[in-house]
């Protein structure tokens, strides 16, 4: 098993997102830490990617809704 692990701080810098947003996304996808070392939780990169995919889907839905409202005006 060869999985890339990322801490919340590293993922926040990598994805340029707030750690609070990433924490919410991890909860939404049901992620649990793969490792906790010295009090720092490490998640698999797949967990973060699943969360980012969920965020992108949400943003697409919001943009489509805004576009639909603009058309109706």
Give CA–CA dist 23/35, Å, rounded: 16
What pLDDT does 18 receive?
Answer: 94
Cα 54 vs. chain centroid, distance in angstroms? 7
- Say what the pTM is: 0.78
What pLDDT does 23 receive?
Answer: 94
What pLDDT does 2 receive?
Answer: 54
β-sheet with 35-37: strand ranges across: 5-7, 40-44, 35-37
* Greatest Cα pair distance in the chain: 55
Give CA–CA dist 48/69, Å, rounded: 32
Residues of the chain with pLDDT under 70: 1-2, 73
Mark out the alpha helices in the chain (DSSP H runs).
8-15, 19-28, 45-71
């Amino acid at each position: 098993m060869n999985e890339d692990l990322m801490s919340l701080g590293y993922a926040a810098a990598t994805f340029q997102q707030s750690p609070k947003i990433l924490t919410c996304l991890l909860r939404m996808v049901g992620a649990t830490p793969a490792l906790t070392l010295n009090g720092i939780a490490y998640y698999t990169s797949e967990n973060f990617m699943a969360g980012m995919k969920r965020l992108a889907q949400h943003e697409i839905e919001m943009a489509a809704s805004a576009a639909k409202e603009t058309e109706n005006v």
